Amino acid sequence: MSKNKSPQSIRLQEFIDKTGYSVARFARECNITSARTLTKILSEGTTPSQKVVDKIIAAFPMLNHDWLVLGYGEPIVKGLQTLPVSVNSLEKSTESTYQLIAQALRDHDFALNELKLKVQEANIKVDSTAKFIVDRSEQNRIDEIERHDVLLKKLDNKMIALQNMGIEQLNKMQKAEDARIEKLDAERKEFMTIQFEAQILAVKTVLENNMKASKEMVTNFDIARQKRNLENAEKQTKEILTCLANGKESQTEQINNGIELGLKTFKDLVKKTTSETMTEFLNFLQGNESAKKTVSELGKHTKVSNPKPSR
């Protein structure tokens, strides 16, 4: 059987070969307008349409429809084995044609019964085949599930192994990294210690130099300050002596004038005050006996023993 042709095309080619007709003549006998339709079916192997099949069966009733379409039974229906091989073979009497038709009907009924039995057998085979396919599919599914489970277990074991290996590698890498970091940290501390000591030494040197320079600067500044203070003191002393010399005469004259004016004022005030006070005092004495007694005792010595301290 050709891979490019359909089974119907191959069986139709077989029947046309039995008739002895050419493709064009067979098309005309079947009342097929275009011979290219049959040529395409036979050469390209396409499946004939139901319309073409009906025209072929109408022209050749002895052809088994089920055999042509489905491949069931024989090519020629029983009782109609005579094929028209020529034009003369088609010229038959009416009576024999009726007999053939009646026989054909009986054979057709028989063929239908036979076909029914074959269809039932085919259905049984289909059912058993379907059951076998279902059972086989179920078994295949179970086997596939089991294989899948086994594969998953293997994959899980491999994943666990890879995970453990990865964890071990990570632990090794972490330890190596920790050791490297510890080494770098020790080197860094050592380097920082060296740098710190060097910086401390440099700072100490700078501070010593700065202290020395500061001491020299303070000493020079103190000397300069003492010199300036001495010069300023001498200058101020000269200015003070000059001022004293210039103001001595005028101050002496002002002092003398002030003393004279003060003495004169004091004398006048004493003179006035003494006169008024004595007058008031005498008037007071004349009217007060106690005061007279007190005045008479003035100038006498009075002894006081064990005087109490004033609080």
Tell me the per-residue pLDDT of 233-284, one tens digit each, with 9 for 90 and over: 788 878 868 876 776 677 678 768 877 887 888 788 767 766 776 677 667 6
Residues for the chain: how many in total?
311
Question: DSSP class of residue 308?
Answer: P
Residue with the larger pLDDT of the pair 202 and 86 = 202
DSSP string, 208-276: HHHHHHHHHHHHHHHHHHHHHHHHHHHHHHHHHHHHHHHHHHHHHHHHHHHHHHHHHHHHHHHHHHHHH
Nearest to 65 by CA among 2, 113, 8, 1: 8
| Over residues 78-102, mean pLDDT | 44
pLDDT above 70 as % of the chain = 72
Q: Report the pLDDT value the prediction gives residue 97, as an integer from 0 to 100.
A: 42
The pLDDT tens digits of the residues spanning 141-183 come to 888 878 878 887 887 888 778 788 877 887 888 888 988 979 9
Q: How many other C-beta atoms lie within 10 A of the C-beta of residue 56?
A: 23
| Over residues 46-66, mean pLDDT | 93
Residue with the larger pLDDT of the pair 285 and 124 = 124
Quote the CA–CA distance of 213 and 49 in Å, as a whole number: 123
Any alpha helices (H) in 287-303, and if so which ranges?
A: 289-296
Q: Report the pLDDT value the prediction gives residue 299, as an integer from 0 to 100.
A: 57
pLDDT at 33 over 80: yes
Amino acid, single-letter form, for residue 290: S
Quote the CA–CA distance of 114 and 250 in Å, as a whole number: 178
3-state secondary structure of 110: helix
Contact call for residues 9 and 48 (beta carbons, < 8 A): yes
For 140, 232, 250, 276, 279, the CA distances from 265, given in Å and listed in that order, are 154, 46, 22, 17, 22
Q: Report the pLDDT value the prediction gives residue 87, as an integer from 0 to 100.
A: 37
Nearest to 14 by CA among 71, 61, 52, 88: 71
Confidence tier at 30 by pLDDT (50, 70, 90):
very high
Residue-range domains of the chain with CATH: 1-87 (1.10.260)
Contact call for residues 42 and 11 (beta carbons, < 8 A): no
pLDDT averaged over the chain?
Answer: 77
Q: Report the pLDDT value the prediction gives residue 58, as an integer from 0 to 100.
A: 94
Confidence tier at 298 by pLDDT (50, 70, 90):
low
Q: Is the pTM of this model over 0.75?
A: no
Contact call for residues 75 and 19 (beta carbons, < 8 A): no
Nearest to 77 by CA among 55, 52, 60: 60
Confidence tier at 126 by pLDDT (50, 70, 90):
confident
The pair of structure tokens assigned to 67 is 């055999």
Burial level of 30, CB count in 10 A (0-12/13-18/19+)?
buried
The pair of structure tokens assigned to 222 is 């103190």
pLDDT at 303 over 70: no
Q: Report the pLDDT value the prediction gives residue 102, as an integer from 0 to 100.
A: 52
pLDDT at 101 over 70: no
Q: Report the pLDDT value the prediction gives residue 99, as an integer from 0 to 100.
A: 44
Nearest to 194 by CA among 202, 252, 24: 202
Confidence tier at 93 by pLDDT (50, 70, 90):
very low
Confidence tier at 11 by pLDDT (50, 70, 90):
very high
CA 77 to chain centre: 81
Quote the CA–CA distance of 61 and 79 in Å, as a whole number: 11
Confidence tier at 41 by pLDDT (50, 70, 90):
very high
pLDDT at 71 over 80: yes
Q: Report the pLDDT value the prediction gives residue 24, as an integer from 0 to 100.
A: 93
